[in-house]
A = this chain, B = another copy of it.
Amino acid sequence: MSKTIKSKSGRKLDIGKVDANMVGKKMEADGLCWRSPLGKPFRLDGFYWFPKHKLFRRMPLVKLPEGVEAMACHTAGGQLRFRSDTKRLSIRASLLDASVMYHMAQTGSCGFDLYLGKPGEQRFRSVSIFTPGSTEYECELMKKPIAQMREFTLNFPLYSGVDRLEIGLDEGASLQAPSPFEDIHPVVIYGTSIIQGGCASRPGHCLTNILSRRMNRPFINLGFSASGKGEPEVAEIMAQIRKPEPSLFILDYEANTPSTESYRETIPNFIRILRQKHPRTPILLVSRIRFSYEVPEDGAALQDNAWRKERFELQTKIVKDLRGAGDRNLHFLDGGILLGEDYDECTVDGIHPIDFGFQRMASAIEPVIRRLIRNN
């Protein structure tokens, strides 16, 4: 009985003492050889300016809008790939920040996750285990009984910067370059916190990583939490991505524009800047997904509110006008359909998708991307 009362009122329950699976396992690091993934044969994707700066960073080291700068070091969409016959894989990570958010698991914001298999055939294996709030951690991601050549994809944290990363493999294990993607021309997505991956439970469930696996191609994630404002300097930087030429640009930043007016003011110029360097690359405008406040009362039929109607009309008009003026590679996709009819179930907070929502988005957008790339 005393135990009962104690656990009823005690505030210091240590979940790990009850369920060790809820805190993770001790790693065995003996005999591991630690390597830096900064050079070959490791392959990094998602950090276009890495060859120049040697930083896990999504934008170049130039003057950027403040919010974009703050998010530029967040490694959303970054992937490290390689092949090895190691039986074990561990990582040591040093993070630039480790914010604990109320609505996103630490594995999503600050963790890495591991997929095994060739590009396009990857299967999820494991996720980083670490103390929430840590900026340094070391953990084992794979331990197999048999040494055989395997292909590894490590997805980087979504809401944290990575200062340093080391890869621990069995001593003497081989290390080779990964298989190439089927198509090396990246899809570049510019957007908001939703594109950055808020609030996936782990990095592999960020939209760009899901699509990269499904479509066997690289994605460059330029989602900047709260900071997808459509600034011309961001467009100028995106336009620099030319080697290889992107297969598609997706602009999905409506949710961060404070007014229809600010979207109207930024989007034509943003497209114009991209077109200067990429005259024929397809560009897809995607409007905002539905938020839970759009759910009609009392089971009434869904009606677009004035705000959604206005934005929809604006975007379809811009695309129609520019297509009429000769830009046949400009397209529009209604974000209002991406999550399905039960869109409210797809988010953690009425705004940010959870894995369930990102899978829905991926399923809705994948055929559109395939068609645009194929037809170009």
Contact = CB atoms under 8 A, between A and B. Distances in A.
B292 A125 contact: yes
Contact of A356 (B103, B135, B356): B356
Contacts of A96: 7-11, 13
A107 interface: yes
A201 B199 contact: yes
B348 A107 contact: yes
A101 interface: yes
Nearest to A347: B124
Q: How many copies does the complex hold?
A: 2
Most buried by B among A19, A128, A347: A19
A88 to B, nearest CB: 14
A126 B292 contact: yes
Contacts of A344: 123-125
Contacts of A97: 10-13
Most buried by B among A103, A117, A202, A293: A103
A13 B74 CA distance: 11
Interface secondary structure of A, over-half rule: loop
20 contacts: A1-B63, A3-B66, A4-B62, A7-B96, A9-B96, A15-B99, A15-B159, A19-B67, A21-B193, A21-B225, A22-B159, A22-B193, A101-B106, A102-B111, A123-B295, A124-B345, A126-B292, A148-B297, A205-B354, A205-B356
Interface of A: 1, 3-4, 7-15, 17-24, 55, 57, 61-64, 66-67, 69-73, 95-107, 111, 116-117, 121, 123-133, 135, 148, 150, 159, 161, 163, 193, 198-199, 201-202, 204-205, 225-227, 292-293, 295, 297-299, 342, 344-345, 347-352, 354-356, 359
